Structure 1
Amino acid sequence: MNGHDDYAALGLGERKRLLAAFEGLARRLPFSYKVFAYRRSEVSSPEAFIARFKRDLVNFLTDNLEFFQGFDRVKIYYDNGQQMVTSALHGAIDFTLSKDAVLYRLASAQDYRLFQTVDYLCTLELTDVKYREKCLTETDVKVFGADYQAFKKNHLARIRRKAM
C-alpha cells in the first residue's frame, strides 16, 4: 500500500488494483480469524502486555477448544517480529493445546500467501481503529478514502464474515 520496496516503481492506481485483486483472493480463501488489539496506554509494561494477551488467547482457545481439537495438527506461523507476542503465543498455546499437536514454523510474508492474508487482516483492523479515532494516515486516505462507511462496506465487512 505504501509503495515501498518492490512496489516503489508502481503508481497508486496500480497498487490499488493489486490490493483489490488480493482482497478477492482473501475473500475466497478458506480460513477463520480472530484479532487481538491493545492500546499501549492500556498495558503498563511488556510483562503486563504478555499477561493480558496470554490470558485473552487462552480464553479464546478454551472457548473454541472443540474447533481446534478437530485438527491433527495446529500450525503456528509467526515471523518472531515482537518478542512479547512470541512469548504470549507460546505460553497460551502450549498451555491450552497439546504440545504434540502444535507445530511452530518461522514464516515470512514473501513465502506464504496466508501470512500475507493475516498481514492484510491486521491492516484492515488497524485501519478501522484509525477511522474510529480519526487518526488516519495520508496513505490510509489515498488507499481506502476518507469515508468510513464506504471503508466498512467495501473492505471491512466483506472480510469480517470470516471472523471467529
Structure 2
Amino acid sequence: MRELSIFVDESGSDGLSDRYYLLTVVMHDQSDSIAESIKAYEDALRAKGLPNIPFHASPLMNGKDLYSGLDLRTRKMLLGSFRVFFRHMPVRYHTFAYATKKFDSLDKLAGTMRRDIVNFLFDNLAELQAYDAVKVYYDNGQHSIAESLHLAIEYALSKDAVVYRSAQPSEYRLSQAADYICTMELTAIKYADHTTTATDEKFFGKWSDFKKGILKETRKKLV
C-alpha cells in the first residue's frame, strides 16, 4: 500500500498581527525511509557534542526555551547540523506566503489560503490519487488554518484517503523539517523587503550568501 505523509507548519499569528503569514506543506513518500538519515543526523550531533534538541528555528535563533543557555556558536552548529540533515531528506514541499496587510480579516485570508491549497492539490491530483492513503500531520495550533486545511484537502481528495493526526514537532523530524522550511522562506521574504533583523543576519549573513547557499539548497525540494 502506497502512503504519502504531509507535514504542515505555519509562521504568523492567528490575528494578522504579523507582517506575513506562511503555510508550508512537506510531502514524503513513506516508502522512502528516512531512518538512516535520522541516525546519521543524531550520530553527528553526538560526535560534535551537541544536544539532541527537537529542532525549532525561532527559539534556536533567539536562544529561547530549550535553547536558552546555549551560546551563539552552539546554536549555529545546531542549525548547520539540521541543514545537512534536511539536504539528504527525500521530501518535497510547497510554501504559501501572504502579506497580511492585503487582508481585511482573518476569514478573507483563510478563504484565499483554502483556494490556493485546493489549486495546488488539483495541480498535483494525479500523483496524490496514486496513493492508497494520505496522512496529514498538523498540530492544529491555529483554528483558522486547521479549518482551511481540512476543507481544502477534503474537497480535493476522497475523505477516506485522508487521516488527520496531531503533529508535535518534538515527535516528528519531518514536522521539524516543515518548521525549517517555513523559516527559510520567511527569511527570504524579509531579505527581499529589507526587514531582516540583527538575529537573521547573525545566522545567515548577507542576502547574497543566504540566497546562494541555504535558500538555494532548500528550494531544490520545492514543488
> What is the TM-score when the length of structure 2 is the normalising length?
0.72
Which amino acid in the other structure matches residue 13 of structure 1? R
2:117 to 54, 57, 74: 57
**Which protein, 1 or 2, shows the higher relative CO under an 8 Å CA cutoff with sep ≥ 6?**
2
Deviations 1:60-79 (A, max 9, x none): 00010011112111111111
Q: How many angstroms apart in 2 are the aligned matches of 1:98 and 1:30?
A: 25
Q: In the alignment, what sits opposite 2:221? A: 162
Percent identity between the aligned chains? 47
From the two aligned structures, give the one with the greater helix fraction.
1
- Measured against aligned partners, the alpha-carbon deviations of 1:70-105 in whole angstroms (never above 9, x if no partner) come to 211111111112111111101100000111111111
The equivalences for 1:21-32 within 5 A come to: 21-32=81-92
Aligned partner of 2:192 in structure 1 is 132
Structure having the higher strand fraction is: 2
Letter in 1 for 2:63: G
Find 2:170's aligned residue among 110, 120, 123.
110
**CA distance in structure 2 between the partners assigned to 1:8 and 1:125 by the alignment:** 25
**Cα RMSD (Å):** 0.8
Letter of the 1:131 partner, please give it. Answer: Y
1:1-164 maps to which residues of 2 (within 5 A)?
A: 1-145=61-205, 147-164=206-223
How many residue pairs get matched?
163
Q: Which runs of 5+ in 2 are unaligned?
A: 1-60
In the aligned structure 2, how far is the partner of 1:44 from the partner of 1:80?
A: 23
